[in-house]
Structure 1
Amino acid sequence: MNIKDIDSHCHDRSAGLLTLTLDEYRGYESAPGQKLVVGLHPWDTLECDMYEAFDILSDAITDPNVVAIGEIGIDPLHGASVERQEQLLRYQLQVAADARMPVVFHIVRRYDILLKLHAEFRPVSASAVHGFRAKPEVAAQLADAGIYMSIGPKFNAETVKMIPRELLLLETDELPESEIRNVIAAVADVRGMRQGALADLARENLRRFLNSGAKSV
């Protein structure tokens, strides 16, 4: 089974598609062929210098290796107040809209804010929620909004069964990219699919997600 170009969200520095915080991105040199997802993580909102952060983000979106903005979002358990996080998220969504770049969200509990802002900004490029583990009812709301859901090593099986085929992504998150094989096996079992068929589906969905923006990947 070919596992290349499937992992939609990975912090393993050897990953083909690598997610970095703004601090990690500063001074980072991409490996040949490596693509990056860069953004102000909600955990970093408490102590960040907003002007410095958005200077880095402004530089990042001009980098041909940066293909999406993320992970950005709302996490009431970490970082600044929810109100402050929403303010910073709005700014990043405007940057993404202006640059026509897809967005990867980190959302804990506050899917109401995500859906509100998604409806407000009506992005031309695609959006995805990484590490999605919410209930089926939330998945139905995201599906109605056309938001991709990325499934990692930990997931809600009932939710995974009902995610529309065209909105399903797979990820390893903090694990080595090679662990995507185990994610494929687990999700394929829950959805009653062949592993190879799921791998092909996830690869095509990720390609479509990344190519929804102004940059061809």
Structure 2
Amino acid sequence: MFEGANSYCSNVKYRFGSFWYNFRWDDYVTLFEGPLSKAFAIVPIFAYLIIFNDALLDQFGFSELIGAEDSSYFLEDGSRLRFAYFGLIFLGLGQLLFIWRRPFVLKQAKSQSEYIAFVQSVFTPRDFIEVYGRIESHGHTTLYGNDELRQWESFKQQITDHTIVNYSYKAAIEKFSGLVRCLAIDHYVTYVKTRKTWLLVSLIMVLAGYALLSIPSIDLFFRVVESVFS
């Protein structure tokens, strides 16, 4: 019995460790920046409907669709608006927290491929030196670049030595594209794996918001089904 419990706990610990290691901000950009998450701006409208105009709650009763006066299945009168209101509150707060605490690399690009393009077009020699310095001091975050980084000294000379004949920063970026790519990927992944607790809190809030918004729809669905088959 205890061996089974220990095995189960070890399995859970392993799975959570694997999840937490791979938990990164860019995997949830679509969830946080979707159209419904941006509906936070209409929260005041729902608040005014709930507080100052109870008569409008009847418009959310769907009596004509149901064919009966009582259009609720398990919700009380007016609860649909309240669930929508608090659902949007949670969505909005989760989105604001995501925007506030997200790593700076996500402000520059929303995905790894976009960040590589950003680095190729925007990075300066100083930026590359800082990225390489972090890798040299703290090691790789990813497996990229073990071979490419051997070209660093040649690349550094090409982008910093203006006395080179036919000096061209753009040509150096193209010539050492593999090195540039691995530097960009390692830098990007390093930062999208930081501040994981903030990401988890944001994710919980947004999922709670979606859950609250789904409750009125589920209630209406069951009421429609009941009216059809009754």
Higher share in helix: 2
For CA contacts below 8 A with separation 6 or more, give which structure has more relative contact order: 2
TM-score when normalising by structure 2: 0.26
Larger radius of gyration: 2
